[in-house]
């Protein structure tokens, strides 16, 4: 087993599918115990970097354990998420909500950069329905796919899975929501494969 410290960008930037197996529990994070503390940490870190762009400040987000699949020729690399699916899912929701804000404000380059961390490029995954980098195999799949592929601005109340914790987490990450607005899809990614049994500790920076 290989252990490395990785940033979210380093984990998400390659064309890949991160598969949440059936044996993993559903998404259970909530506002008071997880979303709000995470946002406070992100805001604090952003303020430090805005005040000093040379700052090496970082925030440890916990361990992620991935186990690579044997690849199928022509397919993007795939790995099972053995540990860390709550964190990975939440960060994907945060990144997607942030990309939507940049897109709404016409900051297309930043929107595309964030979008490439959540969606595989059609050059690598032609099937639009399979372009999300995280693929849930349990009951969270429908809610996650719906909110991550929704059109901007998101009308959360109109989502089929509006009451799900996944939709609520995405809404919490959206300005004016944490109330209610979703939209179209953008551009995507780059290649890479992991060795079997990679354990990744990661930090935001």
Residue by residue, pLDDT tens for the chain (205 residues) are 667 888 888 999 999 999 999 989 999 999 999 999 999 998 898 899 889 888 888 878 888 999 988 766 568 999 999 999 999 999 999 999 999 999 989 999 999 999 999 999 999 999 988 999 999 999 999 999 999 999 888 899 999 999 999 999 999 998 765 443 333 333 333 333 223 233 333 444 4
- Give the residue ranges of DSSP H helices in 80-177: 85-104, 108-118, 141-148, 165-172
DSSP 149: T
Exposed/middle/buried for residue 143 (C-beta within 10 Å: 0-12, 13-18, 19+):
buried
Give the whole-angstrom CA distance, residue 156 versus residue 13.
27
- Asked whether 81 and 64 are in contact (CB, 8 A), the reply is yes
What's the pTM?
0.82
Neighbour tally for 113: CB within 10 Å? 17
Return the structure tokens found at 113.
């950069």
pLDDT of residue 121: 94
Note the pLDDT of residue 177.
Answer: 55
């Amino acid at each position: 087993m290989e252990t490395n410290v990785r940033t979210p960008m380093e984990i998400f930037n390659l064309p890949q599918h991160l598969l949440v197996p059936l044996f993993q529990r559903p998404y259970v994070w909530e506002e008071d115990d997880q979303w709000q503390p995470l946002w406070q940490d992100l805001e604090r870190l952003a303020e430090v970097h805005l005040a000093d762009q040379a700052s090496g400040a970082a925030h440890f987000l916990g361990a992620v354990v991935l186990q690579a699949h044997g690849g199928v020729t022509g397919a993007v690399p795939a790995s099972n998420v053995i540990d860390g699916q709550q964190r990975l899912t939440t960060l994907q929701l945060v990144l997607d909500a942030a990309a939507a804000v940049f897109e709404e404000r016409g900051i297309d380059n930043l929107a595309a950069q964030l979008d490439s961390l959540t969606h595989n490029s059609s050059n690598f995954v032609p099937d639009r329905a399979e372009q999300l980098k995280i693929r849930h195999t349990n009951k969270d799949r429908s809610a996650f796919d719906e909110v991550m592929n929704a059109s901007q601005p998101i009308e959360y109340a109109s989502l089929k899975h509006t009451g799900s914790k996944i939709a609520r987490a995405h809404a919490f990450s959206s300005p004016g929501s944490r109330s209610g607005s979703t939209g179209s899809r953008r551009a995507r990614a780059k290649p890479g494969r992991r060795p079997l049994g990679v354990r990744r500790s990661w930090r935001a920076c």
